[in-house]
């Protein structure tokens, strides 16, 4: 291959690289990938740096640096007076084949656990738009205030914030303890609070510190697939327990076989929206104390409620300290923050703090320091109050459209808290098929049937997130769903 052909080949490979990368990175990857794939064979002469720079409209120094880097790494040889050539050393290795597609279902080489995680994943690559559940409206977040608080921490040059944390930033834990006392009627010390990177990490820590391989964990059914997958990935045996209008509802045979862990979301069960009754709460706590069971209380939706009478947390009701409380900032502030927290019983503090440091390391101290001031300055509660009103208006609009057009076909439920509403079908409809049809029309609808573990608890319907859709934009995608639903009904049932 002469220099002219190699120049054209490199130019083509360069054009295929991601335009968001720097010119130097694009050229480096283009040449390296062409060499590895043998499109530039060993011994091939590369064009002079001036020629290639002119063809690609790059500075000659950029090309020189790329050639130099590839020479250092052994992909190219520079021969004085002759030019630059693809190294013969590459010929000693088999050419690497580029995968036919970047994302696939490849499973060879994975562990049994890895195969199970990949196969059971229910998260969607679509994370925005109507009607993606669990996604807050980040356009109303006070980023200007947040930016000032983060900049303040940077300006102060508090070098300890650049180090690992140990259990979390002290002032943040202090304001959180007071916040939980006022809003959740919880009495806890700052030392009982651990700051983590998201609620999934919090659940993973609980599973690893409190249960052994094969131990049984009760899960609400239907329930949050993310929690199920985290506990399952820790090799716990998942036991589904049905949910009704009063929350988790263990049957007689369930009570006869105590689990090691119970995962519940009593304030607003996901995805049904059920609020656990006081009777169920007290019985669950009594059962946990008697059988030495740990209860993991997921209170992710407590702040986003549309009623004035929050029910006391299980942690606040538990005198025996058998409850670990999980809270998160992802839904109230913005998902990318990835900060959550655990409140653990006093006798677990030392072990959990050590386990967290050993398994995950700790950081994000700069954001934690800004968050402490954000809460202490009243910005957090102000934002929550504002968003409650915005979300409530959007929820009401969506429910009104569905009731007007789907009476007798689909019934909205829950809606007392959270960023979504479950809608149950009163007619036999395939919610998975509906979901795929809706996605083709640009509407996200999560099938309720996929949240169930046991087929006996499976009920078709829609899980619709309304929070990130402006109220004036709700009706159009909702009517698309209405049209698709009517199209799936038997001819005599429309």
Are the C-beta atoms of residues 297 and 180 closer than 8 Å to each other?
no
Most confident of 101-105, 126-130, 163-167, 465-469: 465-469
Global pTM? 0.76
> Distance between CA 444 and CA 130 in Å, rounded?
6
Quick: pLDDT tens for 425-468.
998 899 999 998 998 888 988 999 999 998 888 899 999 999 99
Looking at the chain, the whole-number percentage of residues with pLDDT higher than 90 is 53
Token code pair at residue 329: 């900032």
Distances (CA, A) of 490 to 231, 407, 409, 427, 485: 40, 16, 12, 9, 10
- The alpha carbon of 14 is separated from its chain's Cα centroid by a whole number of angstroms, namely 34
Are the C-beta atoms of residues 232 and 261 closer than 8 Å to each other?
no
Residue whose token pair is 């009607």: 131
pLDDT at 103: 43
Query: Could you say which DSSP state residue 124 is in?
Result: -
> Distance between CA 366 and CA 219 in Å, rounded?
35
Buried b (16+ CB within 10 A) or exposed e, 114-125: eeeeeeeeeeee
Quick: pLDDT tens for 132-145.
888 889 999 999 99
Cα atoms in the 13 Å half-sphere on the side-chain side of 14: 21
pLDDT at 101: 42
When pLDDT is cut at 50, 70 and 90, the band that residue 157 belongs to is: low
pLDDT reading at 2 higher than 90: no
CATH assignment, 113-123+141-376 = 3.40.640.10
Residue whose token pair is 């990835």: 338
> Distance between CA 41 and CA 397 in Å, rounded?
63
Under CATH, to which class is 382-488 assigned?
A: alpha beta
Residue whose token pair is 């709460």: 281
Across the chain, what does the average pLDDT equal?
A: 87
Quick: pLDDT tens for 296-312.
999 987 788 887 766 77
CATH assignment, 3-92 = 1.10.10.10
> Distance between CA 466 and CA 397 in Å, rounded?
9
pLDDT at 183: 87
Q: How confident is the model over 161-183, as a mean pLDDT?
A: 85
Collapsed DSSP state (helix, strand, coil) of residue 86:
strand
> Distance between CA 201 and CA 118 in Å, rounded?
18
Query: Could you say which DSSP state residue 134 is in?
Result: T
* Per-domain boundaries in the chain: 3-92, 113-123+141-376, 382-488
How many residues in total does the chain contain?
Answer: 494
Quick: pLDDT tens for 442-453.
898 899 999 999
β-bridge partners, 242:
221
> Distance between CA 77 and CA 20 in Å, rounded?
29
Pairing of strands 340-343, 323-328: antiparallel
β-bridge partners, 412:
423
> Distance between CA 189 and CA 178 in Å, rounded?
9
Token code pair at residue 407: 């009476």
Query: Could you say which DSSP state residue 437 is in?
Result: H
């Amino acid at each position: 291959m002469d220099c002219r052909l190699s120049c054209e080949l490199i130019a083509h490979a360069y054009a295929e690289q991601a335009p968001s990368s720097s010119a130097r990175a694009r050229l480096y990857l283009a040449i390296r990938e062409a060499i590895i794939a043998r499109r530039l064979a060993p011994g091939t002469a590369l064009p002079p740096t001036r020629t290639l720079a002119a063809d690609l409209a790059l500075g000659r120094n950029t090309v020189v640096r790329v050639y130099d880097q590839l020479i250092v790494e052994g992909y190219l040889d520079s021969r004085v007076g002759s030019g630059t050539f693809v190294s013969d050393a590459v010929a000693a290795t088999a050419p690497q084949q580029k995968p036919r597609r970047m994302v696939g279902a490849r499973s060879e080489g994975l562990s049994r656990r890895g195969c199970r995680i990949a196969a059971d994943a229910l998260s969607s690559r679509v994370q925005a738009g109507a009607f993606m559940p669990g996604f807050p409206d980040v356009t109303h977040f006070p980023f200007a205030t947040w930016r000032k608080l983060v900049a303040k921490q940077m300006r102060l040059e508090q070098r300890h914030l650049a180090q690992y944390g140990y259990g979390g930033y002290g002032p943040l834990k202090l304001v959180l303890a007071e916040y939980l006392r006022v809003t959740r009627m919880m009495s806890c010390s700052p030392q009982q609070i651990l700051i983590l990177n998201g609620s999934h990490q919090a659940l993973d820590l609980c599973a690893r510190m409190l249960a052994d391989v094969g131990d049984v964990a009760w899960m609400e059914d239907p329930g949050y697939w993310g929690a199920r997958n985290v506990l399952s990935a820790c090799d716990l045996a998942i036991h589904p327990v049905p949910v009704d209008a009063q929350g988790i509802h263990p049957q007689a045979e369930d009570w006869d076989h105590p689990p090691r862990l119970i995962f519940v979301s009593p304030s607003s069960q996901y995805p049904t929206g059920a609020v656990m009754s006081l009777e169920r709460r007290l019985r669950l706590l009594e059962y946990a104390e008697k059988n030495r069971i740990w209860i993991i209380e997921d209170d992710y939706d407590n702040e986003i409620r549309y009623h004035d009478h929050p029910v006391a947390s299980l942690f606040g009701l538990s005198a025996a300290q058998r409850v670990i409380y999980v809270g998160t900032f992802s839904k109230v502030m913005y998902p990318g923050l990835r900060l959550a927290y655990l409140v653990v019983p006093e006798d677990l503090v030392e072990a959990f703090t050590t386990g967290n440091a050993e398994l995950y390391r700790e950081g994000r101290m700069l954001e934690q320091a800004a968050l402490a001031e954000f809460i202490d300055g009243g910005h957090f509660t102000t934002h929550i109050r504002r968003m409650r009103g915005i979300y409530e208006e959007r929820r009401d609009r969506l429910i009104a459209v569905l009731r007007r057009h789907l009476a007798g076909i689909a019934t909205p439920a829950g809606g007392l808290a959270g960023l979504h509403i479950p809608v149950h079908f009163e007619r036999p409809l395939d919610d998975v098929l509906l979901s795929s049809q809706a996605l083709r029309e640009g509407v996200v609808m999560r099938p309720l049937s996929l949240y169930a573990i046991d087929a006996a608890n499976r009920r078709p319907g829609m899980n619709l997130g309304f929070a990130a859709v402006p109220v004036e934009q709700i009706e159009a995608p909702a009517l698309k769903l209405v049209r698709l639903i009517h199209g799936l009904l038997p001819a005599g049932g429309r």
